Structure 1
Amino acid sequence: MVGTVQFGALAACIVLFVPMGLAGYHLSRNKILFFSGALFISLAVGVHLTPYFPIVTNYVSSFSSSLVLENHTSCISFLHEIVWDHHVQQPIMNKVDEKPSNVSSGFQNSWTWAKSTPVIACGFQKLGRSDASDLLNGSWVVVAGDSQARLFVLSLLELVLEPSEMELVRGDLFKRHSDYQTVIEKIGVKLDFVWAPYTANVTNLLMEYKRNRRYPDVLVMGTGLWDMLHINNASDYGVSLGLARQLVMMLLPFSSEFGNDGPVTGSISIQSPHMFWLGMPTLVESMLNTEEKREKMNFAVRNAYERELFKSKLLRQNGGPLLLLDINSLSGNCGGRCTVDGMHYDGAVYEAAIHVMLNALLVESQQRL
């Protein structure tokens, strides 16, 4: 339909401007009128007959779809183009390592999207409470991971809940090494945080979804920090990510875009979920608070784990199904002044990640390009 309308608009422009161009050659009025009439009739017949010729219709539709896909892909690639501003302030209370503690670095950290031409064209924006609630209305959102994922959930709740409501959930959310579930009845959102510090925990969760054939609308997962500290084997981490990729593919309808070998058995009758991978933060080695962390979570080990993530083809940028929420980029650009322990960052970093996710949902649903 869209392609036919666009073709009709093109035909109208031809009918309007071609005769005007011919008039510049001082042709007689009768010749111009005859040519204009013949051109109008030919193009009108062509527009009306186009839907009955599949070859033409398919060409117009594929051309229109390619433009949408190109714009969609382009905007997704600019989501993390964020710039930071830092203002000196008095220390504030926040939560780190799953318990209340003073994590302010003495700076108020704020962010915005870069003012480059492509970013402006994509129209990214910070969503207010009302818009974010409308976008997530009626959704089941699951976030699985370690303390980084818990801070991500905290930022999401701070966006959609009133401050008075937040005070009621902070204690439950930050119970050490525990899951958290809530239903935000006024917007019909079910939010689950699943304590999953290892990739094996994530794969168990995915197998549970597959077994029950119940899938969240939005699924955010991320592991690595605990594996790095307690197992410290990048190769094994890569193997576990490969298994996670296979299970993720089972939750999706068959698509050659991700290089599946065949159709999914027990196909899903519902729309496939929006899936994200919550990346690990930039680690400031000198600020890590134990000798064990400084030894096992150094720059070289962090890079080895990052390489395994890319090699696993779990991320969309490497041919996989999950869109990366690049905490490494966001935290690294915010810098050392955004953390006091070299691992957990100021709430503004996770707030930025939330808005990257929400704008990705808008782009992918083509509500705004």
Structure 2
Amino acid sequence: MFGAVQFGVLAACIVLFVPMGLAGWHLSRNKMLFFSGALFITLAVGVHLTPYFPSFSTLISSSSSFPSSSTVVSSSVNHDSCISSLHDIEFYTNIQDSRVNNDSSSSTGEKMKNSWKWVDSDKGVMDCEFQKLSKSDASDLLNGSWVVVAGDSQARLMVVSLLELVLGLEEIERVRGDLFERHSDYHTTVDVIGMKLDFIWVRYVSNLTDLMVEFREKRVFPDVFVIGAGLWDMLHVNNAADYGVSVRMLKDSVMPLLPVTPEFEVDDRRVAVRSPHMFWLGMPMLISSMLNTEEKREKMTDAMWYAYDKQLYKSKLVRNFGGPLFLLDIHSLSSRCGRACTVDGMHYDGVVYEAAVHIMLNALLVESQQRL
């Protein structure tokens, strides 16, 4: 395949070496000079006229812009298999010597700590080389980014885990009180890496739809969007069909933010808009017997969870079901962590949301075909 520079070099070689080759066939000097001049003029005219023939220009530019077909197929296969393997995670318990940490609350000198890893035996996982990102790696990846997380308490816990990664445990303790003010937004900037983070408290999917419309009207978009809602709807509305209608309306509001419409008209000018990476934060596994009110135990059942999930499937909002948003499958993660990872049957230990954060960051690496 030839780019513009290679094409020019090829033309020069033809002009230089073809006449020399012809001379080897004992052509007369005049014939050789005539042929050389004609060839030079033809190539020069062709080079100058190429831009006026779109099909030929497109052929050359496309040849120089894309790798060979075998590379494209290979990248596609790796991309799809890696995306499908991102949730292949297992949780385990570490036993730590609490006396090393000056923890006097344990009489045995031991304490339990939940952790997680990608499944070692999964070939897709091994081929994709997923990694728990360090603070430095996560900072490099999110450097200069604007991240918006919108949703309920599950989304807030996601924000906590993300900030723990980029700030560190000591720094997160300073802001934890502000972050956990009930039913409130939270905004911060990590100055060291120039990352802006906005958490927007949202109860219902209809609130997410309003938020998408607001961003569209302002024509200002974050680099990463993490959205999700459903628990409040399940408790206070408890109607899966209505939830399905809301999710389909949300999908309609999300579509204009995606690459299918990369430009907008602004003052009679076409302005390109960078589309965000968008994630849907799924609802967790609900353990009815552990829920802390009678109303929750009555309404937030397994049957209702699956009815709501069926509506999400039918809406084609998330990529697993043929839609545009990448699903951060909190239900799968919380199910694997189990009852030991929750005290109220709804909100899970930080290890679950930590795993979700690393899945999200590795998804960004896969989508952009980067390695740290």
Partners of 1:60 and 1:351 lie apart in 2 by 36
Contact 1:142 1:220 in 2 (8 A): yes
Residues 1:320 and 2:318 aligned together? no
Structure with greater Cα Rg: 2
Task: Quote the residue 2:113 is aligned against.
Answer: 108
Contact 1:82 1:114 in 2 (8 A): yes
Partners of 2:63 and 2:264 lie apart in 1 by 33
Q: TM-score, normalised by structure 1?
A: 0.76
The 10-residue stretch of structure 1 (55-64 or 349-358) with the greater mean CA deviation from structure 2: 55-64
Task: Quote the residue 1:224 is aligned against.
Answer: 230
How do 1:225-304 residues align onto structure 2 when only pairs under 5 Å count? 225-254=231-260, 266=265, 269-304=272-307
Residues 1:346 and 2:353 aligned together? no
Task: Quote the residue 1:82 is aligned against.
Answer: 89
| CA separation of 1:167 and 1:73: change in aligned 2, threshold 3 A | same
Task: Quote the residue 2:50 is aligned against.
Answer: none
Partners of 1:139 and 1:241 lie apart in 2 by 27
How do 1:12-23 residues align onto structure 2 when only pairs under 5 Å count? none
Which amino acid in structure 1 is aligned with residue 118 of structure 2?
A: W
CA offset at residue 67 of structure 1? 2.1
Task: Quote the residue 1:36 is aligned against.
Answer: none
Task: Quote the residue 1:144 is aligned against.
Answer: 150
Contact 2:278 2:326 in 1 (8 A): yes
Picking from 197, 210, 216, the partner of 2:216 is 210
CA offset at residue 63 of structure 1? 4.0
Q: TM-score, normalised by structure 2?
A: 0.76
Task: Quote the residue 1:174 is aligned against.
Answer: 180
| CA separation of 1:117 and 1:211: change in aligned 2, threshold 3 A | same
Partners of 1:60 and 1:277 lie apart in 2 by 32
| CA separation of 1:53 and 1:127: change in aligned 2, threshold 3 A | closer
Task: Quote the residue 1:362 is aligned against.
Answer: 365
| CA separation of 1:319 and 1:264: change in aligned 2, threshold 3 A | farther
Aligned positions, number: 301
| CA separation of 1:362 and 1:175: change in aligned 2, threshold 3 A | same
Partners of 1:332 and 1:189 lie apart in 2 by 32
Partners of 2:361 and 2:58 lie apart in 1 by 40
Task: Quote the residue 1:260 is aligned against.
Answer: none
Which amino acid in structure 1 is aligned with residue 171 of structure 2?
A: E
Partners of 2:326 and 2:117 lie apart in 1 by 21
Contact 1:213 1:268 in 2 (8 A): no
- Name structure 1 gaps, 5 residues minimum: 4-50, 92-105, 256-262
| CA separation of 1:2 and 1:174: change in aligned 2, threshold 3 A | farther
Which amino acid in structure 2 is aligned with residue 346 of structure 1?
A: D
Equivalent position SS for 1:220: strand
Partners of 1:294 and 1:207 lie apart in 2 by 35
Equivalent position SS for 1:191: strand
Give the % identical residues: 60
Equivalent position SS for 1:277: strand
CA offset at residue 52 of structure 1? 9.8
Partners of 1:201 and 1:53 lie apart in 2 by 45
Residues 1:165 and 2:183 aligned together? no
Partners of 1:166 and 1:286 lie apart in 2 by 32
| CA separation of 1:63 and 1:313: change in aligned 2, threshold 3 A | same
Task: Quote the residue 2:6 is aligned against.
Answer: none
| CA separation of 1:284 and 1:212: change in aligned 2, threshold 3 A | same
Which amino acid in structure 1 is aligned with residue 294 of structure 2?
A: E
| CA separation of 1:303 and 1:342: change in aligned 2, threshold 3 A | same
Tell me how large the CA RMSD over aligned residues is. 2.6
CA offset at residue 64 of structure 1? 2.7
Equivalent position SS for 1:177: coil
How do 1:52-131 residues align onto structure 2 when only pairs under 5 Å count? 54=59, 57=63, 61-87=68-94, 107-115=112-120, 116-131=122-137
Partners of 1:84 and 1:198 lie apart in 2 by 31
Which amino acid in structure 1 is aligned with residue 286 of structure 2?
A: L
Contact 2:205 2:247 in 1 (8 A): yes
Task: Quote the residue 2:310 is aligned against.
Answer: 307
Equivalent position SS for 1:138: coil
